[in-house]
Chains A and B, each alone.
Chain A
């Protein structure tokens, strides 16, 4: 019997796993994809929100502000890229400043530190590229940008280092409430990898969290996947703005953000479109075109330097707030459901909160040998010349460049494969090291990454996939079909 089983290895599931790994418990994480961070967590804005946006009193407001503080610390202890670049909400309509003032008040009651209203002069001094239509703005200095992949991966790796088991490529098909002979409750999970019995289930299944919740509860949830499309631009455009620029929602719509990414690209997005298929991450011509137009409202000269576009799904629950806690009619079944924005920011706070609930239910004690730090993969691109020389001295593979655009070496790729929960797919390498994230988008490095993966995994190159079964790259040898 498993103590705790978490469904979903996105940022929420991984953050919960990491907090649970402090306790003396058998913790299992089930993930239907072939890697952690494969759903919503991989395709979002990468923003660490300061917390002015959520309605006071909601779970979103509570966990956002807490999560923001935690990420500031965790980025150091768990070694993932984070930058406190500040957030700016622009008022682009002449008549308005009421909206900005309301947001300021909301932020204050949510306990967001350092909020300030910027008048046009100061705004333009801080962000010279901002649109001349901006009237005023709200400035939130604690807003930040994070690498959503490496944050999720850092949580998962640290959890695994502390004894949590991750079962990838394992889909939960059904959940049944059971009672054992001694009268205690437990859950039986039917998975693609067999039956799992567990005392506690944690539902961190993103856009599928209503499905699992509804298997055990009469109080139904309803999630609508909301698609958000994004444009990612070349690093040449990365210093267009320093802070993350939001637009105040107006009669023209919700607006999009224009932000530098923590790696120095420029990103514009997201759109917001409700879809039925929880796997529909396709982009649309209309969506991509609208992003450019909307982004261009925030800044004077939005360059046409798109290197890629993508879409992610946010799990919007009908109630509009996160659904977090033990389910009323299903003791031992804990929801972390309806996690949409600011879910990435909230994750570590949600993790600590859910771990607290589990601790109470199972009466678990703290581990003495908990390892609270984790070292990330070194980056030759970011290292100083001295650090580079030291890395190369440790392994000459750090001087062998695989991805030219992002300066990622064989050493980093080998590190990504050989570490805890190491990369098994090309996308897994990409998210951990940035190989293929640059302006040529794997044009050059794909054919160099695949052999490294094949060799490390001891398989033929034909077995290597982009992500998950069926995403193969190579279809046999030449002349096979002649």
Chain B
């Protein structure tokens, strides 16, 4: 017997979990519980005090906490229950596919919750130094950009004064500006790839406007300092991302910030046996954002890392809506199964399968390309027939792309087919 029950259990009270909960309630689902490990709702948005959030969702520029507040207000207004400071340590399946979530918090200790459906909304974490194989010493003063952001924005403390940033992920770019505002000197941002990992607007607003150099095709090859960082050596890399001897430059600094990629936090999903996409490190999902485990949905950065929170909210709303339908027992007939294949520069897609019986009138498919492309096209085929060919001025790995599949068009091609499985191909073409 579980200690508690809730029809829908949402793991994570960040932007994904909040939007999923609000959307499930809009669908009429009453019995929802959000589990959040931090002491407040809002997730990482709480420390993202810069603006630029909500342009798509609210048509205005909000800060992270303001954006979160809009959703938190919906949760409060709708009286959707949530538990803070609560760590989920296990998700498992019981008899008849019921979901059992084990969690703990200092108030209630260790407890289990039984649910009909679960939405995974745990977000992501930053890639640490060790995973980057940066040689040298291991002193204090090496932070992930997010840790530095927490220090500056939440604690009001400076993690360093003279800073080098490795990796041009968005948080690193934002922190280059933020640290500069607070009196630190940011010497440069080094990026291993020949292109930036972040949004163009962040390069312009956070680096260019402050004369902070962005060194593309460069990396840190040595860290000096036994106790605290005393400096780093940066070298240029060749086309195989290998440092070029003779190009080393030493930068005296006390801090190295790392913004080298985000990794979906899927340890719980793995333990549950959810099938993972090795490209995204997130779950494989179908058109309903349902994982390989029926009744378990995923959305937001735990599914695949997004650039914009607006897209997270949209995706999570869909997950909430679909979870509510699942609980009502309304998953429609399967119809045809379409596998989405990505190739020729397109690295992955979310979702990877579509059951036409459950397909909404329009379905957004999101993906990233693996390189920088100029003046090319995005081509989409269904069983070899071209669905669309969209001209693209610029595509880059740092900017998520999307296409919209129209159900009517898909059905027109598939109608009367006596084959149950079909294939959509998304690719970059000249």
Contacts and interface: CB of A to CB of B under 8 A. Distances in A.
Q: A and B: real partners?
A: yes
Interface of A: 232, 236, 279, 281-285, 287-289, 306-310, 385, 388-389, 392-393, 396-397, 399-401, 404-405, 407, 426, 439-444, 446-447, 461-462, 465-482
Nearest 6 Cβ contacts at the A-B interface: A308-B130, A441-B128, A481-B183, A470-B227, A396-B106, A466-B140
B136 interface: yes
A451 to B, nearest CB: 8
A307 B126 contact: no
Interface string B156-196: 11111100000000000000000000111000000000000
Contacts of A444: 125, 147
Interface residues on B, range: 35 or more
A236 B37 CA distance: 23
B127 to A, nearest CB: 9
Contacts of B157: 461-462, 474, 476-478
Given A399-B105, A474-B159, A443 B147 contact: yes
Contact of B133 (A309, A399, A439, A441): A309
A466 B139 CA distance: 8
Contact of B158 (A289, A397, A475): A475
A471 B161 contact: no
Interface string B115-132: 000000000011011110
Nearest to B222: A282
A88 to B, nearest CB: 27
Contact of B135 (A232, A282, A439, A465): A282
Interface of B: 37, 85, 87, 89, 102, 104-110, 125-126, 128-131, 133, 135-141, 143-144, 146-147, 150-152, 154-161, 182-184, 221-223, 226-228, 243, 254, 265, 267, 270
B42 to A, nearest CB: 16
Contacts of A471: 139-140, 227-228
Contact of A396 (B107, B135, B147): B107
- Residue of B125, B135, B137, B221 with most partner-chain A CB within 10 A: B135
A473 B106 contact: no
A476 B159 CA distance: 8
Given A396-B106, A397-B106, A474 B135 contact: no
A472 B183 contact: no
B131 A307 contact: yes
A392 B158 contact: no
B275 to A, nearest CB: 15
Contacts of A285: 133, 135, 221, 243
B392 to A, nearest CB: 32
A475 B159 contact: yes
Nearest to B128: A441
Contact of B128 (A399, A443, A475): A443
A471 B140 CA distance: 5
A234 to B, nearest CB: 9
Nearest to B182: A478
A399 B125 contact: no
A392 B128 contact: no
A308 B110 contact: no
B158 A306 contact: no
Contacts of B110: 385, 388-389, 392, 399
A307 B130 contact: yes
Given A392-B109, A447-B150, A404 B87 contact: yes
Contact of A400 (B106, B140, B254): B106
A401 B140 contact: no
Contacts of B146: 443
B37 A283 contact: no
Nearest to A43: B138
B133 A400 contact: no
Nearest to A286: B135
Nearest to A277: B226
A442 B107 CA distance: 26
12 contacts: A282-B136, A283-B135, A285-B135, A306-B131, A396-B106, A426-B140, A441-B128, A443-B147, A447-B150, A461-B157, A471-B228, A475-B161
Nearest to B133: A288
Contact of A399 (B109, B150, B183, B223): B109
B279 to A, nearest CB: 14
Contacts of B140: 426, 465-466, 471-473
A380 B51 CA distance: 39
